[in-house]
Every structure is written in C-alpha cells, then in structure tokens.
C-alpha cells in the first residue's frame, strides 16, 4: 500500500514537472475570411510566458496542417527552452482543397490557370490574419515578421514577402515550386523569361533588409527540363538565387542555401531542414537570453 502510494506520488510529481517544464503553448483558431470566402484554421505556437511582446518575432508558415507531423512544437520546445533561438511566435496556416488556387504568384497565373486566388490569399494574410494575431494576443507590433513554406507553399511565401517587403524581413523556401511558369514545355517555353518568380525578382525593387533561406533535396524529383544533369528543383532554386544576386543581394550574407544529398520532397526532409532555418534566422546571440 505504501509502495503503491509512493509510486502514485512519483508519477504525479513527474507529470507536474513535465507540464511545468514545457515552454511552448499552442492555441488553435478558426478565422472566417472575407477574402477567401472560407473558414481558415490556424495553429499558434508561442512562448508560454511572454514577458516582452515587442521582442517576439512572428513566423508565418504555409501548410500548417503538416506542422504536427513536422514536429514544430518539439523543435521550438528544445530550441527556445535552451535559449538556442530568440522568442518566436509561429502561426501555421492550414490549407484545404483550394490550395493550388490560393498558393502561387498573386500577379501572374501559371499556364494552367492555377494560383487564381493567390491575390486573395495575400489580402487574407496581411489584412485579416496578422491583425487578428495582434489583437487576440495583445501584441502592438512584432520585432520582425517572416514567412516560410514548403513546395507550392514556399513559392507562395516568397511571392508574398517579395511583393510586400515593407512587412517582412525573412523568407524560408523548402523545395519551392520555383518552376511555376507561364508556358508549358511544349508551347514555346523559354527558361529565361517564362519562370514567373524569377521574372518577378528581375522586375522587382531591391529591399536591402530582406534575407532568404532556400532548401532543396537531391532526391526532390527526377525532372531535368534542359538536360544539364541537374534536377529542376535545384536548377530553379540556384537560378532564382542568381537573380537575387543580380538584384544586389549578397550570395552568403543575405542568402542561405541548404542542399541535402539524401533530401526528398517530403515532410521528413523538411523536418530535418527546419532547425537549420530557425538557427539561421533567429539564433540567440552570445550573452543574450530569450
């Protein structure tokens, strides 16, 4: 009886210690978006004890429905709990069956007509989502705002950040769909002019504060449009980095490129790359505490 009571007390104390030790809280909301004409689920990951809201960094992440499988909570628990990264407020935005219409490039449809709601999605992010977060959590302003995404969600994040640079400071693109184009391969496609995001960078304005993180995997795909021995996922990413450098960004100071030799186009690969992105963007400086 005494042994059983001791065991119960030990389990209770262990459970209490685990709950007390957790530093990350998660809150889920459903927003009724006027711009998207649908309900949008979001998951908010943030430090349980926010002592100085103005020191929080906001990171929006497309395809928020995948973040549990990605284990974002565990990463943030470890990295913020050990002061490896600065205080970070992450918001996972869930996609649904309209993903291929809401993600893409707002100012130009791809050759199949996809991305038709990308402009509406941009309005949702800037005019509904961010104001909701600030109001709900009583945060007047964030230290900085950044955006990240995977595959087509990575293209979407880059498009929004590039075209609204006054709002953002960093972007993370994991296996980005940077092949997004205005012409099909059998309809006179020209790599120099028909890749939409590359053309957008070329025509856009240089914003010196922007920083870019790109991840690709050697096993992302097998397509090689120009038969140069490099898969399109890597070729398109390196080509876009070249456009950024031509625009004025420093290849190493402003841009990070992570290529995984065994990386695939999947959540497991992006889960491996995510901590590198978090350290790249928000590593705690020596002597600084989160």
Nearest in space to 75 (alpha carbons), one of 250, 273, 289, 287: 273
Mean per-residue pLDDT, 262-278: 98
pLDDT in tens, 127-137: 999 999 999 99
Sheet bearing 170-174, strands edge to edge: 24-33, 38-47, 88-93, 57-62, 144-150, 170-174, 211-219, 255-264
**pLDDT value of residue 286:** 57
**pLDDT value of residue 263:** 97
58 or 185: which leads in pLDDT: 58
DSSP code for 185:
T
pLDDT in tens, 217-252: 999 999 999 999 999 999 999 999 999 999 999 999
Asked if the model's pLDDT at residue 168 lies above 80, the reply is yes
Asked if the model's pLDDT at residue 8 lies above 60, the reply is no
Q: How confident is the model at residue 21 (pLDDT cuts 50, 70, 90)?
A: low
Domain edges within the chain: 21-282
Mean per-residue pLDDT, 142-150: 97
Percent of the chain residues topping a pLDDT of 70: 91
Domain formed by 21-282, architecture: 3-Layer(aba) Sandwich (3.40)
Residues 6+ apart with CB under 8 A from 114: 100, 101, 104
In 34-115, beta strands by DSSP E: 38-47, 57-62, 88-93
**pLDDT value of residue 3:** 47
**pLDDT value of residue 55:** 86
Report helix, strand or coil for 278: helix
The dihedral through the CA atoms of 180, 183, 187, 191 has a sign that is negative
Instruction: Tell me the CA distances in angstroms from 147 to 62, 162, 287, one per residue in order.
Output: 8, 10, 27
Q: How confident is the model at residue 9 (pLDDT cuts 50, 70, 90)?
A: very low
Q: How confident is the model at residue 289 (pLDDT cuts 50, 70, 90)?
A: very low
**pLDDT value of residue 49:** 83
For the chain, the first-to-last Cα distance in angstroms comes to: 45
Report helix, strand or coil for 106: coil
**pLDDT value of residue 7:** 40
**Helical residues (DSSP H) of 129-249, grouped into ranges:** 130-136, 152-163, 191-194, 196-203, 232-247
Place of tokens 């092949």: 179
Nearest in space to 59 (alpha carbons), one of 74, 76, 71: 76
**pLDDT value of residue 14:** 42
Q: How confident is the model at residue 22 (pLDDT cuts 50, 70, 90)?
A: confident
274 or 185: which leads in pLDDT: 274
């Amino acid at each position: 009886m005494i042994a059983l009571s001791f065991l119960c007390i030990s389990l209770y104390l262990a459970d209490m210690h685990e709950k007390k030790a957790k530093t990350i809280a998660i809150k889920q909301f459903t927003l009724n978006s006027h711009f998207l004409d649908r309900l949008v689920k979001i998951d908010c990951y943030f430090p349980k004890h926010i002592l100085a809201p103005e020191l929080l960094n906001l990171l929006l992440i497309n395809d928020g429905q995948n973040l549990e499988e990605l284990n974002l909570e565990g990463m943030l628990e470890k990295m913020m709990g050990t002061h490896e990264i600065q205080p970070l407020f992450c918001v996972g935005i869930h996609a649904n069956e309209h993903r291929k219409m809401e993600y893409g490039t707002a100012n130009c449809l791809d050759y199949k007509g996809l991305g038709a709601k990308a402009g509406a999605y941009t309005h949702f992010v800037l005019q509904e989502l961010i104001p909701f977060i600030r109001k709900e959590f009583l945060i007047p302003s964030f230290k900085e705002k950044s955006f990240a995404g995977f595959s087509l969600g990575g293209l979407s994040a880059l498009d929004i950040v590039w075209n609204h640079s006054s709002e953002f400071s960093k972007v993370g693109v994991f296996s980005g769909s940077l092949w997004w184009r205005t012409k099909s391969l059998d309809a006179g496609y020209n790599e120099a002019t028909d890749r939409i995001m590359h053309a957008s960078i070329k025509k856009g304005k240089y914003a010196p504060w922007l920083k870019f993180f790109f991840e690709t995997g050697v096993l992302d795909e097998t397509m090689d449009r120009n038969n140069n021995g490099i898969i399109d996922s890597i070729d398109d990413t390196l080509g876009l980095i070249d456009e950024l450098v031509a625009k004025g960004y420093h290849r190493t100071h402003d841009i990070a490129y992570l290529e995984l030799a065994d990386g695939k186009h999947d959540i497991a690969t992006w889960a491996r790359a995510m901590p590198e992105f978090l350290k790249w963007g928000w590593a705690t400086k020596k002597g600084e505490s989160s």
